Structure 1
Amino acid sequence: MCGIVGLFGESDETSVRRMLQKISHRGPDGEGCRQLDDVEAVLGHRRLAIIDPAGGHQPIPDVHAPDRRAIVSNGMLYNYRQLRERFSAEPFVTSSDAESIFKVCLADDVAAVEQLDGMFAFLVVKEDRLIAARDPIGIKPLYFARADGRLLFASEIKAFEGVSTDVEEFPAGHVLTADLNTGECLLEPFFEVPEPRSAICDAATAAAAIRETLEDSVVKRLQSDVPLGCFLSGGLDSSIITALACRHQPDMHTFAVGLEGSSDLLAARRVADFLGTQHHELRITADDVRQALPQILYHLESYDRDLVRSAVPCWFVSQLAAEHVTVVLTGEGADELFAGYAYHKSYHDGAALMQELHRSIGAMHNVNLQRVDRMTMAHGLEARVPFLDRDVIDLGMQIAPELKLPPGAVSGDEKWILRKAFEDLLLREIVWRDKEQFDEGSGLSVLMQQIVPAGEPLTPLPDGRMPRSEEEAWYARLLQDRFGEASAVFRLTARWEDNRVG
């Protein structure tokens, strides 16, 4: 987990260093910059050391052509050891997962992305050719822009401040190739969320498949050369991930936050006691939120009301976890795969519900996944999301909608098949606990509405949209104040209901 920058069309290390400074929080363990002699290109990297902490510094050059080939990468490749075996006859300069990406790209060019199992955003220079890619779901961020004939890339929008306002989000599941002599680019998809197909209608079959596939996903994500823990809200999703992780790693650290007496704190404590984890909790106050909110918005790069509400507890739990570990597992993606949100109950047609789940998985990159990435990285913490493994997503798109949300479902029936798959692994009161979103269970949803200054004006935002409430207008004003020039941030702010099915 790191921050990356690339500048193509001008060998300007000073600009790359300035861009890296804007995202220095993503990599507290070091900074690297490499100018490539044969092309007008500079790669920059801020490092959070996870795999090969001592030797995995980036940019990584090719030992055969160090002035013409190099990589910078952000994320975690879970099959890096298997890929490394393929190139066992070749010299490696690190033991990091990023070098496995590099070797495959050098060997197979754009076809390499089909072989990568993980969350990633990377830039590879291969002589006069650039390969840039972002993981299938967009767990890791990447943005790009053109300015004065140059092509620029960075992990966060703020890196482009003072360089370009014409910033675009690099789409999830895409790979870009560029001729560094002519500047010609080609952007192509390499992954699409599988179409729903209701191939599994038997509850026992579905539950067994979920159990096996999700456990495999968790085990993959336990790879780390530094301490690892779990976010634990006490809700179904984080409790399942924690329970599965504890089966393979003893003495797991868990982390929970909330207002004094909030349901999340109480439920998380019950799960932690049941599983025997080393549990840590933090009680948040209104003053804590007021003080931290400008920083939260700056790192989040969004004013969306719903996203900000969930970002606040995520900020504080990341702050807490970073005092003890460097990697955490989280439960994001379960609601989108298995129909866990309240609005899902308004769908009375199973096909329409499945299409909405399909849409929402594809939309996570600039809403909930943006929140997870930005809040954890603001504290030098890597977050991994087992529910968004490609195999888990594919399985989720095969399970019939009536197993996810039974007809006539009431509160506590959401994600029914997920609950059934793990009802023997957790306390019944946790498995069948009513769904509460992170901001609700922590008590922060109500608090955020209470601390909004009275009379916040409802005027058009820089992106032309109207704020949905005084609360959202307040977030937008604070965001504008913190950034100054924030046109790109406002233009790229997404809302969860955008393009909702039905």
Structure 2
Amino acid sequence: MVRCTGFGLIVSPDRHNEVVEWPFAVQGINSTRFERIENLEYSSVIRGEENCVKTAYMIEEDIAIWMIGEVYNRESIWNTIIGEEKNSSDLDVDLLLNLIRLYGTTALRLVNGRFAAVIRFRDRLLLVTDHAGTIPLYFHISKNSIYVATEAKALILGGNLSPGLRKFEDRTFEQNMIETIFKGINRVPIGSIIEINLRTFEMKKEHHWRMPSERLVISEEKACHLLYETLDKAVEFQKGENDSVGVILSGGIDSSAITSLIAPKVTKLYTFSIGTESANEFEYAKLVADRYQTDHHEFLIREEEFLEKLPHVVWAAEVPHAEFIEYLTPVYITYQHARSFTNRILTGYGSDILFGGMLDPHMSIEELDNYIQRDVLSIDGSNEFTHTIGLVHGIWTTHPYWDREFLRITLQLDPRLKNLHGIEKYILRKSFESFLPQRNVWRKKIGVHQSTGTENAFTKWVNENIRGNEPLAVRKNKIIYNLLQTLYVEGANPDEININNSRVLINQ
């Protein structure tokens, strides 16, 4: 289990003891660390288990690092690069420090993982997210101070750094990839380094990961082998040293493939399915659970529970998009029920983006390739993969389909193979044809928000309560926007918000 669940940092001429009070959605207790380096004070709060500071913070000579997450290719980096320089350590923050010393900022190009970090290196402060930005990192720069945190609420409610939300109609923050819905609060784009000069406080952006543009020309058979082997390695990496893990299992090809790969690698595998009386995938999930003899659990939820959890999901996800909140709500509830069984869960999330699973299988190859590239970039700022949704319940989540190496291979794959014969995600299905029940391999894709009843419940509620001529999607987004306003501007507690409260329905 990752012991550190979040952190915040203020860099300024003066010490800031109040950083210990910064709020986080994720589980844990706040610990503080104060360092004076040259002429600046580094006041930090580290969220997580008691005594977790040593796993999240390290300083050695002119390098200091604050980090949350894990490095998946740790062993190969230690053995191949650092092993001759220093005895092996099980701390990823130590690994990152040694890489920075050897490679400077280009060290991040070597790292495959799920992490966010702040690195003081010489006269620079580096703000870093992994290749897919799966752990958000927010920041604010003033005249003589820098504020950073893994959750925007720490800066907004703890640091009093945002005067409110941008206007609902102002979507410019979605184009520049740095600004957020919160005024004055920025975020580090996916696969990027925000470099801040500690003398002038000037900022510039660099990339340590870019989406590949070239494509592989290989046969269907070789493509299947390559996908299977690369995903299997990603699952092995993301299992970590755990002998007991969980998988969210819908019975679709994405989660079923992950289940088939992880089952032989652990002594205890839990699988979890969620649904309502009117919409669920229990039948298909059970086929895979029975085949791999998992400890399977079905969670039957009232449709009203999805609405009741909306404020909590918005509080954790910190985004204004109803589309993503609808995806994340059933996942949030699943983690809530699964926490009594395991503290690490692998998901099948993100496969649809890479294989065009939600696109028209009959579109042209050119359209498909362009749409997939667009959809990959669209995750920037969506917080679809955010760690907070799981760590609110004490669960560390991983997403093998967005492992850096698997992501590279999948994006380079001939797009023709992804929708061959008019079958969406054809090559992924073909890769696991021999390892899963045929009903699971070839069943048509259904989104988690649809298969669990979340979308229907939210749509019904919006149509009954928010009348008008605006499109349904706009009305849904306004509800999420007003929830953000209630939580982050008015300072309400998500436990105290009733979705039918007038504060959520204002200005409709």
Partner of 1:177: 195
Q: Does residue 432 of the first structure (1) align with residue 446 of the second (2)?
A: no
Give the partner amino acid of 1:299.
A
Give the partner amino acid of 2:408.
D
Q: Does residue 482 of the first structure (1) align with residue 475 of the second (2)?
A: no
Q: Does residue 217 of the first structure (1) align with residue 234 of the second (2)?
A: yes
Give the partner amino acid of 2:355.
F
Match of 2:418 among 387, 395, 404: 404
CA 1:45–1:267: 2 relative to 1, 3 Å: farther
Higher deviation after alignment, 160-169 or 421-430: 160-169
Q: Does residue 358 of the first structure (1) align with residue 366 of the second (2)?
A: no
The alignment of Structure 1 onto Structure 2 pairs a total of residues equal to: 464
Give the partner amino acid of 2:232.
E
Partner of 2:36: 36
Q: Is the 8 A contact 2:78 2:95 kept in 1?
A: yes
Cα displacement (A) at 1:361: 1.5
Match of 1:75 among 69, 72, 96: 69
Match of 2:128 among 119, 123, 133: 133
Cα displacement (A) at 1:249: 1.5
CA 1:55–1:134: 2 relative to 1, 3 Å: closer
Q: Is the 8 A contact 1:45 1:58 kept in 2?
A: no
State the TM-score, normalizing by the size of structure 1.
Answer: 0.85
Cα displacement (A) at 1:421: 0.5
For 1:465-480, list aligned pairs within 5 A. Answer: 468-480=473-485
CA 1:329–1:131: 2 relative to 1, 3 Å: same
Q: Does residue 262 of the first structure (1) align with residue 279 of the second (2)?
A: yes
Partner of 1:124: 119
Q: Is the 8 A contact 1:43 1:72 kept in 2?
A: no
Q: Is the 8 A contact 1:55 1:95 kept in 2?
A: no
Q: Distance in 2 between matches of 1:14 and 1:214?
A: 45
Give the partner amino acid of 1:18.
E
For 1:104-253, list aligned pairs within 5 A. Answer: 104-161=99-156, 162-164=160-162, 165-200=183-218, 202-224=219-241, 227-253=244-270
Q: Distance in 1 between matches of 2:467 and 2:486?
A: 15
Higher deviation after alignment, 84-93 or 385-394: 84-93
Partner of 1:433, secondary structure, is coil
CA 1:45–1:265: 2 relative to 1, 3 Å: farther
Partner of 1:492: none
Cα displacement (A) at 1:110: 0.4
For 1:381-396, list aligned pairs within 5 A. Answer: 381-396=395-410
Q: Is the 8 A contact 2:245 2:344 kept in 1?
A: yes
Partner of 1:496: none
Cα deviation digits, residues 325-370 of structure 1 (max 9, x gap): 22211112211111111x33362x2122112112212222322x53
Partner of 1:490: none
Partner of 2:391: 377
Cα displacement (A) at 1:442: 1.2
Cα deviation digits, residues 448-495 of structure 1 (max 9, x gap): 2122373426699xxxxx973433333332332222269xxxxxxxxx
Give the partner amino acid of 2:321.
D
Cα displacement (A) at 1:417: 0.8
Cα deviation digits, residues 230-259 of structure 1 (max 9, x gap): 111221101101110112113211122111
Q: Distance in 1 between matches of 2:303 and 2:380?
A: 29
Cα displacement (A) at 1:55: 6.7
Q: Does residue 9 of the first structure (1) align with residue 19 of the second (2)?
A: no
Give the partner amino acid of 1:181.
R
State the TM-score, normalizing by the size of structure 2.
Answer: 0.84
Cα displacement (A) at 1:415: 0.3
Cα displacement (A) at 1:30: 5.6
Q: Does residue 445 of the first structure (1) align with residue 455 of the second (2)?
A: yes
Cα displacement (A) at 1:273: 1.6
Give the partner amino acid of 2:377.
G
